[in-house]
Amino acid sequence: MKTIVILVTLIALLIKTANAQTEFHTKTIAANLDTPWEILWGPDNFIWFTERSGKISRVNPDTGEVFEVIQIADAREVGEGGLLGMVTDPDFLTNNYFYVAYNFYAAGNNYREKIVRYTFNPATGKADSPLVLLNTISGANNHNGCRLIISHDKKLIFTTGDSQDTSNSQNINSLNGKTLRINLDGSVPEDNPLPGSPVWTWGHRNPQGLAFSPDSTILYSSEHGPNSNDEINIIQKGRNYGWPAVEGFCNTSNEITFCNDSNVVEPIFAWTPTLAVAGIDFYNSDLIPEWKNSLLVTSLKASRITQLLLNESGTEVLNTKDFFAGTFGRLRDICISPEGKVYIAVSNRDGRGNPKTDDDKIVEISPITSSVDETRNDKFVNITPNPAGNFVNISFSKLTQTEIVYSLYNVNGQVLKTGVLEEGSTKLDLPLNFEGLAFLKLNADNQVYMKKILIKR
């Protein structure tokens, strides 16, 4: 009988935990930016970001102070082109290297794209010593890519768009419509699928997101479709991803034939109509438990974060859920801090959005946790007993509103219980399967009251 009771209790606790939903706190840490394109968590615990006009900066996420690193003189913003992706070297704390992709005008007024390594000077906070690694990528008003990432074996991997010429994607002699892979000095790795070529995969339209799984064995990519079939792909060496012969899955007779003949990899997920998917990152922190083992995807047209919950192996999407739809507008990129806070880059000044007075900006997303202090109005609320057992009594000394909405959280920001209280002294039953510190949030009279409750049994 005792074993049965323990099992029932554990099952109930698991169900309660699974159903708990995190509520979020958002905070702008940098505002009035000009079309930020890349944001990444730097080795110096600052957020590094690019603006499409050519500026690279660092922002202190705690204070909001922004420090300009460099204004790249030859970066040219044309249409959706300009300064795009960026990544820091795995040995940044030793060599101070970081890598960027941007569009520029080459001889003959040719609009092109290049990959350049810079060296950061910690003493001055500035960057210099540019080293061009690759500058033969075609550029265009649209479909430039270009996201950068570095693999565990220290190879620079980056995406390129088809530069508005669909024939580029299936042409293995073109660097457009590809995933490219080079050594950190710009040379071509000997184990690339095509001898002497940086081409790693082909058949892409306009991929704008790259993220590794936590063990670095799976590389995910997000890719813009035309009017249908935005894609999430797993990038595999030497494989074809279908564009323009295939959009999304191989599900028409012509597509099936092409897929069978051309070694095509289907996406693990696709959206129709399109969201204009952009940056992605892999969430594996305990700070927001229900996001763990998920890809977080930002979108421009759909203006939201989409969670793609993955199976244990990371190869299938089990479920999706949208967050912050329409809250901030167009979202270009996303990054995650070591403690699990999420940061998004808002892109309403990219020519297709509706900028607000403080756009564009970088926004921090974190769960409501124990860091939330009790409000100054807490003297109007009395909680007894505290520590509590199975219930508390709540009384208000000054209140005009008859309906009070409440939420009870644990220290991780998970909602344990919600409901509505009536005016006056009210008994609130506490969750039977929870012990520890909890936070009671009360909304009444256009005020927020926050009280700590220690639940002990």
Per-residue pLDDT tens digits for 31-87: 999 999 999 999 999 999 999 999 999 999 999 999 999 999 999 999 999 999 999
Residues 298 and 423 placed together within one structural domain of the fold: no
Specify which residues 405 forms β-bridges with. Answer: 420, 443
- pLDDT above 90 covers a percentage of the chain that reads 77
CATH classification of the domain holding 186: 2.120.10.30
pLDDT digits (tens, 9 = 90+) for 219-256: 999 999 999 999 999 999 999 999 999 999 999 999 99
CATH classification of the domain holding 397: 2.60.40.3080
Residues 124 and 224 placed together within one structural domain of the fold: yes
* Residue 16 within any structural domain of the chain: no
Residues 94 and 179 placed together within one structural domain of the fold: yes
Q: Does residue 16 surpass a pLDDT of 60?
A: no
pLDDT digits (tens, 9 = 90+) for 214-229: 999 999 999 999 999 9
What is the DSSP pairing of strand 97-106 with strand 110-121?
antiparallel
Q: Does residue 12 surpass a pLDDT of 60?
A: no
CA torsion, ordered 435, 438, 443, 444, to nearest 10 deg: 80
Residues 410 and 352 placed together within one structural domain of the fold: no
Q: How confident is residue 368, by pLDDT bands cut at 50, 70 and 90? A: confident
Determine whether 191 is exposed, middle or buried from the number of CB atoms within 10 Å of its CB (0-12, 13-18, 19+): exposed
Residues 83 and 104 placed together within one structural domain of the fold: yes
Q: In the prediction, which pLDDT does 411 show?
A: 73
Q: In the prediction, which pLDDT does 446 show?
A: 65
Residues 280 and 415 placed together within one structural domain of the fold: no
* Counted domains in the chain: 2
Q: What pTM, to 2 d.p., does this model score?
A: 0.80
Tell me the average pLDDT of the chain. 90
Question: In the numeric block, which tokens belong to residue 457?
Answer: 């049994």
Q: Are 372 and 412 in contact, with CB atoms under 8 Å apart?
A: no
d(CA 74, CA 93): 27
Domain ranges, residue 110: 24-367
Residues 376 and 362 placed together within one structural domain of the fold: no
* Residue 17 within any structural domain of the chain: no
pLDDT digits (tens, 9 = 90+) for 103-138: 999 999 999 999 999 999 999 999 999 999 999 999
pLDDT digits (tens, 9 = 90+) for 168-199: 999 999 999 999 999 999 999 999 999 999 99
